[in-house]
Amino acid sequence: MESNATLNISGLTSSNRLLGKVALLIGGGGRIGVETASRFLREGANVTLVDIIPEALEVAVLSLKDAVLVQHSKTARILTIVADVTLEAEVEAYTKKTVQTFGRLDCVFLNAGISYRSIILTSSIAGLRGTPGLILYSGSKFALRGLALTAASELGSYGIRVNTIHPSVLTHTSGVDGPMFRNAWSPEKLEELKRCMPLGRFAQVDDVAGVVVFLASEDSKFMTGGFLKVDGGCVSF
């Protein structure tokens, strides 16, 4: 794990649903990570961004400066850490550093987000129905749903909630323009799918981020074992 940095930010909040909370975002340099971090900050939370690519974290911090009002403050609201999440020692190190910096840890979002009070697993609409051409991908996403249901029944007595979110195709580089979807579906097929969607478009990163913030907040405190579609009605037809 490499050195880390903090950024002093004071941002306008939407409703202070996460005021005083601390969120750890794995893959924090990606587009979903940055958008989710922005939403957490606006809701009053402090955030740690973890990514294996230092340049991605640098870009993320610049993006978040634009997303929230920057003021000089003695309280750092963003901590960035370069780490490999496949190494147990580094996972322990950045978790410990987060608690040392902010004094607590309430939510961890892995883009399959694991929280100390709420586990949020990012699946897909491919985890709700069969998807031709995506047999391995679809199978892995169905597995996440089974994992969530089992974990919800096992962890409920500890006050830990487990839910899955199921986005449709995302309009960014790992979504519509990603090689997995280009190989599975032609541009014509994607346009046909878009036309059939009740809301007439694919999901965007802020659509996903808003649902993650909801599941991390007390607004969802009696929800567990559930699944939330972020699909514009795609699975309704």
> pLDDT tens-digit profile of 140-168?
999 999 999 999 999 999 998 999 999 88
Span 9-25, average pLDDT: 74
Average pLDDT, the chain: 82
Active-site annotation holder among 137, 158, 189, 221: 137
4-236 sits in which CATH class?
Answer: alpha beta
Span 16-34, average pLDDT: 89
DSSP 174: T
Q: Which of 179, 200, 178, 176 is closest to 190 using CA atoms?
A: 176
Active-site annotation holder among 97, 141, 194, 229: 141
**Token match 């031709």: residue?**
132
Rg (CA), the chain: 18
Q: Based on the residue annotation, tell me whether 116 is a catalytic residue of this protein.
A: no
Q: Based on the residue annotation, tell me whether 229 is a catalytic residue of this protein.
A: no
DSSP 92: H
Ranked by mean pLDDT, the top range of 10-24, 81-95, 192-206 is 81-95
Residue 146: C-alpha distances to residues 84, 141, 157 (Å): 27, 9, 19
pLDDT above 70 (res 15) = yes
The residues spanned by each domain of the chain are 4-236
pTM for this one? Answer: 0.75
